Amino acid sequence: MAMADHVVMERDGRVAVVRLCRPEKKNALSLSMLERLTELAAEFAADPGLSAVILTGGPDFFTAGVDLFDPRYANLSNLSLAEKRIIMEIAPRACRAWEALPQTTLAAVEGFCVGGGLSLAVSLDYIVMAESAWTRAPEIDWGMNMSWGTLPRLVRLIGPARTKRMIILGEKITASQAAEWGLAQWIAPDGLALEKALSVARIAAGKPVAPAAMTKETVTALSGALDRLASHMDRDQFLLSVFDPEAIQRLTGFEDGKNKDSA
């Protein structure tokens, strides 16, 4: 499968569906996929005929998170700090681009949504999870911080204590627990998360475009006013943590198959 096929967009009138399609890697997010997501966000933002966008994965998983073995990530140690920071800005830029979309945005999650997948999902307006779906943030277990601007978004959704449970303790959060906490807004029968997301998207598509977009922009600005202040250095924290000897040991174990509990 060509790299361009790893992110597929389908359009039905005023609704777009973007699918992560890298099943051989459990939809692990390569840097090229994240760049494509940013490009699509720019196209969507300039389209006044589009009212809703859904991001989804496959029937068994949304995504296993970032692909830490992407060649550009694997080569980080050979780059200057300035070059490293440019690479590390690709993923958070994608999250910000999707968060800033004027359209209503939804994540439709079947199976598991891990690490960077959680970061993407909480950048959207709503999350629909299948009944047996679950999410987890294993970054600290790998010796890394949770980055991509995820922490302030999570605090807004579920509060500080629950955010610490998810990120520091690494708890696996089921769909029912996610709904109870306010992380997921709808639960659908297994196999029907996308169908439920489409039903919500069609409601959004029936609303006047400008008032809906202005309302979303105001709510996002009010609720996330301090987000950038809280997270602007998380890529640098990642660079500090990922080259710590403990992180290197844990990531080596992950690569060797000794620490594959994330999905």
CA-based nearest residue to 101, from 128, 129, 120: 120
Q: CA triplet 252, 255, 259: central angle to 5 degrees?
A: 85
Q: What is the pLDDT of residue 250?
A: 80
**Residue 27 pLDDT greater than 90, yes or no:** yes
* 41 within some domain: yes
What are the residue ranges of helices labelled H in 122-174?
150-158, 160-167
Give the per-residue pLDDT at 3.
54
Q: Which amino acid is at 259?
A: N
Task: State in Å, rounded, how far the first CA of the chain is from the last one.
Answer: 22
Residue 227 lies in a domain: yes
pLDDT of residue 259: 45
Per-residue pLDDT at 209 exceeds 90:
yes
Instruction: Identify whether the C-beta of residue 232 lies closer than 8 Å to the C-beta of residue 93.
Output: no
Domain count for the chain: 1
* pLDDT number for residue 260: 47
Is residue 247 over pLDDT 90? no
69-83, 87-101, 199-213 — which is least confidently predicted? Answer: 69-83
The residues that are catalytic are 139
Residue 203 within any structural domain of the chain:
no
The predicted-structure confidence for 231-241, as pLDDT tens digits, reads as follows 999 999 989 99
In a domain, 202, yes or no: no
Residue 54 in domain:
yes
Domain containing residue 22: 3-191+209-255
Tell me the CA distances in angstroms from 136 to 54, 99, 102, 113, 192, one per residue in order: 21, 20, 28, 7, 21
Helix, strand, coil distribution of the chain in percent, nearest 5: 50, 15, 35
Specify the 3-state DSSP secondary structure of 33. helix
Is residue 217 included in any domain, yes or no?
yes
Q: How far apart are the C-alpha atoms of 113 and 70, rounded to whole Å?
A: 19
CB atoms within 10 A of CB 13: 11
pLDDT at 25 over 90: yes
CATH number at residue 37: 3.90.226.10
**And the tokens for 74?**
């694997």
Is 137 inside a domain boundary?
yes
Residue 245: what pLDDT? 86
Task: Average the pLDDT over 89-95 and give the result.
Answer: 97
What would the mean pLDDT of 24-34 be, rounded to a whole number? 97
Q: Is residue 261 part of a domain?
A: no
pLDDT-derived band at 78, boundaries 50, 70, 90: very high
Split at pLDDT 50, 70, 90, the class of 262 is very low
